[in-house]
Amino acid sequence: MFILQLGLIGLCVALVPLSYIWGSGDPDKFRKLVWVTTFLTLDLVMFGGFTRLTDSGLGCPDWPGCYASSSPFVAHAAIHAAQQAMPSGPVTMSKAWIEMVHRYIAMAVGVLIIAQVVIAWLRRARLGINPWGPTGLLALVLVQGAFGAWTVTLKLQPVIVTTHLLLGLTLLAGLGWLAASRSASTGVGPRGKPFGVAVSPESARWRGAAILGLVLLVIQIALGGWVSTNYAVLACTDFPTCNGQWLPTMDFANGFHLWRALGRTGDGGFITQDALVAIHWTHRTFAFVVFFYVGWLALKLRQDPALRGLATGLAGVLVLQVATGLANVLLAWPLPVAVAHNGGAAILLLLLCMLNFRLVSRRAIVAAAPSQAGASA
């Protein structure tokens, strides 16, 4: 029964953005739906970071409900009993609400993607939509839901939590690509603004560099997720050295042993400080590689007027991402800064995916340019 109640809650949450889309004056409701879903997924990724950083991942120690209920209101007695039994434990009313709000938003995103799939299949000829793109995203949502369940049932096992994060970001990237594709076909971006994709032919030579930049960023995000899920942010408490050393003692074998419980080594012992330092130091060191490479790429792509806006945004967020990363270490991991750092990584991924889309779609646009020029003449 509570499963049905959860579904109704997710549907009610989804009705808010659906009502906004339906009531908007945008003639292409599908394009609007994809963009709104993309922005809501970005919010979901950031709220997922907030859930993890507030130690609310086990605020409801079962899945998909909370003590087999649809909300913490109904599960109030069970939550209170768990908090009384273990006052410093993972279950409190506030943590339960944080965890369930995260799940409600996730269900709403699922409803919006189901709506995309239905529209894409029913109106594929009229709208010129390839329905397999939204269908693939729906399949990804189902896999993501499974990892969300395992995150709880396996008690925040780092490899599961990190994979859950990476799948959420993959969903965000896929939605961003779909949104850019739909806007390119209509010439209209979010909020009804023109969406120009006519990049210069010279930009084609940066296509491989942009793909490499995306690969490097994904590796860095995975390393950052490993830092967060192992709570290794404060393993190094200074900068640019790590605990006063340029090359501290590190235990890479245990730090990067994937299949193990939170706070444990592969053989069941407690994870050491040297292992946590190895995790933190690797993420910090690779950040320099990503910063200089993606920063260089953004400066190069700014030379094309069609890419200038995205490239400028990429450079700006990159600088802010470094600033929040340093603040996490020097200010002892303040929650707002940590959430902003998680969100910055998601925005960087979204911007770099859209830059890659513009470069990949260049041939069709350039091929169409002569006919467009002749029509305008």
73-121: per-residue pLDDT in tens? 999 999 999 999 998 889 999 999 999 999 999 999 999 999 999 999 9
Domain that holds residue 252: 199-372
Q: Are residues 249 and 305 in the same domain?
A: yes
The last residue of a domain, from among 157, 173, 195: 195
* Residue 196, pLDDT above cutoff 80: no
Average pLDDT rounded to a whole number, residues 245-251: 96
Rounded Cα–Cα distance for residues 54 and 128 (Å): 44
User: Mapping DSSP to helix (H, G, I), strand (E, B) and coil, where does residue 264 land?
Assistant: strand
Q: Are residues 191 and 231 in the same domain?
A: no
Q: Are residues 314 and 184 in the same domain?
A: no
Burial category of 98 from C-beta neighbours within 10 Å (exposed 0-12, middle 13-18, buried 19 and up)? buried
Q: Are residues 177 and 232 in the same domain?
A: no
Q: Are residues 227 and 156 in the same domain?
A: no
Residue 150: inside a domain, yes or no? yes
Q: Are residues 186 and 226 in the same domain?
A: no
Q: Are residues 178 and 258 in the same domain?
A: no
Domains held by the chain: number: 2
Reported as type and span, the H/E element at residue 152 is helix 132-153
The last residue of a domain, from among 169, 195, 221: 195
What pLDDT is attached to residue 351?
96
| Active-site position among 33, 48, 61, 99 | 99
pLDDT band for position 46 (cuts 50, 70, 90)? very high
Residue 377: inside a domain, yes or no? no
What pLDDT is attached to residue 369?
44
Q: Are residues 167 and 28 in the same domain?
A: yes
Q: Are residues 293 and 324 in the same domain?
A: yes
- Specify whether the CB–CB gap between 113 and 134 falls below 8 A: yes
- Specify whether the CB–CB gap between 45 and 169 falls below 8 A: yes
- Whether the model clears a pTM of 0.75, i.e. scores above it, the answer is yes
Q: Are residues 204 and 191 in the same domain?
A: no
* Residue 375, pLDDT above cutoff 70: no
Residue type, 188: V
pLDDT band for position 364 (cuts 50, 70, 90)? very low
Q: Is 202 a catalytic residue?
A: no
The tally of CA atoms less than 13 A away on the side-chain side of residue 1 is: 2
Cα–Cα separations (whole angstroms), residue 250 to 59, 222, 236, 243, 288: 33, 19, 11, 12, 19
